[in-house]
Amino acid sequence: MESFLVSTSVVALAEIGDKTQLLSLILAARFRKPLPIVLGILVATLLNHALAGALGAWLATLFTPQTLGWIMGISFIAMGLWILIPDQLDENDVAVPQKQMGVFFATLFAFFLAEMGDKTQFATIALAAQYHQVLMVVLGTTLGMMLANVPAVYLGHRFADRLPTKLVHLIAAVIFVTIGLWTLARILF
């Protein structure tokens, strides 16, 4: 259960102000059909994070537990520092498929591609390698993504403008760095 709760909370915080949350706002403004957008985000996230979780589990088999601990500890610290760098996404920066593709498939396509190489994808890889519970990590990271993106779809710019994103990013960064330091401390002591 720890892997699920940590995955959910860390990704939900890391996603605030992230490019995929900004993409959610753009999709909501463009299509104005929240349900197929939310479903597209859900399916894209499940697919993307399932692949990332499988990769994390596979990477965990390649290294000794001590080496993996060092890699994970350093990765979590790096992730915490990366979160402090704000993402920016302009509607012109993202290729949102045309409306004839349908809102669901346009969202699925755009969101899946935007999540490739994103902070939360790397977090999913690291969490799956750390906890060795791919299903719980994928479910947790997916729930975290939904907790951050569903309000963005339904409440739009009114909601996003009022969030203290710098504070949320700082909290997420502290959590990632703490997990990294805790992981390294377990190896050393």
In eight-state DSSP terms, residue 141 is H
Q: Looking at residue 92, what DSSP letter applies?
A: G
CA 4 centroid distance within chain? 14
For residue 40, the model assigns a pLDDT of 96
pLDDT (0 to 100) of residue 92 = 53
Residue 97 has a pLDDT of: 55
* Model pTM above 0.85: no
CA dist., res. 96 & res. 167, Å (int): 30
**Domain range annotation of the chain:** 2-188
Q: What is residue 118's DSSP assignment?
A: -
Distance separating alpha carbons of residues 38 and 152, to the nearest angstrom:
10
Q: Classify burial at 66, counting beta carbons within 10 Å of its beta carbon; exposed 0-12, middle 13-18, buried 19 or more.
A: exposed
- Residue 31 near residue 111 (C-beta atoms within 8 A): no
pLDDT of residue 38: 96
* Contact by Cβ (8 Å): 89, 23: yes
pLDDT along the chain (189 residues), means of 10: 91 82 82 92 96 94 88 85 70 55 90 86 91 95 95 73 66 81 84
Task: Judge contact between 130 and 4, C-beta under 8 A.
Answer: no
